[in-house]
Amino acid sequence: MAGKLEGRVAIVTGAGSIGEGWGNGKAASVLFAREGATVVALDINPTAAEETCRLIREEGGSAMPFVGDVARDADVKALVEATLRAHGRIDILHNNVGINRTAATTQLSEADWDLVMAVNLKSMFLTCRAVLPIMEKQGRGAIVNVSSVAALRYARIPYLAYSTSKGAILPFTRTIALEYAKRGVRANVILPGLMDTPMVWASMKDEYPGGREAMVRERNAQVPMGRMGDAWDVARAALFLASDDARFITGAELVVDGGMSCSTG
């Protein structure tokens, strides 16, 4: 039985993971490959990119690592050129790269503001700008951008740059969705809630002096379903939006948060 992405070429940015465990991009890359896609796994860390590709190959899938910084136009152009040389097409772009810098508004440095905006938002502009002409020429394509429920509500921690960048992804994606709706290209957004991933712990451990177990307890308690999500919850949402199961869905915002964004807590 053919997979949902059989014969398609998917670029996944942020396809590695910080340390051990499953990050969103790593899980999405593996799941896309399990469903038949050829995955181009981009990460700024070569070891992380290769690890994701190794896992895919061990399961019999097809994957190509690419090392680059998606906040740099030259790296994005090189990524697209390498993908076309190797595979001749780009069917899916999954923009998963994201970072955070936590600081009170008056303590947030200009450098950190600029960095978060570049990695979280400018990168999506650069990748979408590069692949949209290719997808239009093909007559089909799916873009899946990762935002956050921090775009919808205050996250209890000062996330000024992060929440602002993630909020901007919503109109950014809607604009692309409408501009390309009649050209065969769909664009949608995933908004993850509280997730238990290596990136979360790496970026927030200073906020939880009680350690990782304390962080898990506190964050689980904030979710109406009683637990955080994980990378596979986000990956399954990405698979749905990238596949023909979502063929009549564009400009949508899929919240993956265990009910948190619709609660009053």
Active site residues: 162
Query: Kind and range of the H or E element at 239?
Result: helix 231-242
Order of strands across the sheet that contains 38-43: 62-67, 38-43, 9-13, 92-95, 141-146, 185-192, 253-256
Query: E-strand spans in 124-197?
Result: 141-146, 185-192
- Residue 263, token pair as written in the block: 């609660």
Query: Kind and range of the H or E element at 254?
Result: strand 253-256
**Contact call for residues 140 and 185 (beta carbons, < 8 A):** yes
Q: How far, in Å, CA of 147 to CA of 153, rounded?
A: 12
Rounded to an integer, what is the distance from CA 177 to the centroid of its chain? 17
Name the β-bridge partners of 93: 11, 143
Rounded to an integer, what is the distance from CA 127 to the centroid of its chain? 12
